[in-house]
């Protein structure tokens, strides 16, 4: 019989189904990355000097003002703060960065100033390279405040 089509019956799409399968504007546009920061400083004094504690507090507030979540605070103390190749807190920070990678999360290491990372420019570059390899980017609070 012409016009008589046999086969499975297809139900019309309802408004409810359409609403759940149609992308919304927010789904079309990716949200900005979520920022997680790791604070780093060093102090030749052990325990940390009042100045070092004030710098860490300032960095914590700086991160909060920008909506960044602080994942950890790492401070090398005493002789470790003066060495270029044996910084236990820096090593723990790198490990924390490596284990924190996730999609849509931007990882930063916030230091009060580049000098707080290392005095010698070559050492600063080497430490910043270690950080990038681990999955984060170095941000200097002093440099950010200048811009």
Structure confidence by residue, pLDDT tens digits, 105-121: 899 999 999 999 999 99
Which of 18-22, 38-42, 49-53, 88-92 comes out lowest in average pLDDT?
18-22
The answer to whether the beta carbons of residues 101 and 107 sit under 8 Å apart is yes
Give yes or no for residue 21 having a pLDDT over 80: no
Delimit the domains of the chain by residue range: 50-146
Q: Who has greater pLDDT, 56 or 9?
A: 56
Residue 101 pLDDT grade (very low, low, confident, very high; cuts 50, 70, 90): confident
Confidence of residue 146 (pLDDT cuts 50, 70, 90): low
Q: Yes or no: say if 37 and 63 are a contact pair by the CB < 8 Å rule.
A: yes
Q: Which pLDDT score is estimated for 24?
A: 38
- Binned at pLDDT 50, 70 and 90, residue 63 comes out as very high
CATH homologous superfamily of domain 50-146? Resolvase, N-terminal catalytic domain (3.40.50.1390)
Residue 96 has pLDDT above 60, yes or no: yes
- In 10 A of CB 6, how many CB atoms? 4
User: Residue 46: is its pLDDT beyond 70?
Assistant: yes
Q: For residue 80, what are the β-bridge partners?
A: none
C-alpha dist (Å) from residue 17 to 13, 14, 21, 94: 6, 5, 6, 47
The pLDDT of 127-140, averaged and rounded, is 95
């Amino acid at each position: 019989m012409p016009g008589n089509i046999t086969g499975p019956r297809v139900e019309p799409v309802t408004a409810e189904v359409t609403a759940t399968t149609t992308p919304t504007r927010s789904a079309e546009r990716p949200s900005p990355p979520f920022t997680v920061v790791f604070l780093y400083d060093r102090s030749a004094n052990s325990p940390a000097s009042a100045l070092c504690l004030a710098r860490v507090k300032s960095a914590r507030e700086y991160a909060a003002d920008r909506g960044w979540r602080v994942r950890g605070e790492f401070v090398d103390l005493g002789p470790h703060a003066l060495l270029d190749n044996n910084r236990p807190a820096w090593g723990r920070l790198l490990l924390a960065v490596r284990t924190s990678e996730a999609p849509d999360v931007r990882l930063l290491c916030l230091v009060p100033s580049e000098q707080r990372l290392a005095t010698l420019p070559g050492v600063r570059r080497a430490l910043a390279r270690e950080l990038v390899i681990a999955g984060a980017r170095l941000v200097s609070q002093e440099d950010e405040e200048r811009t």
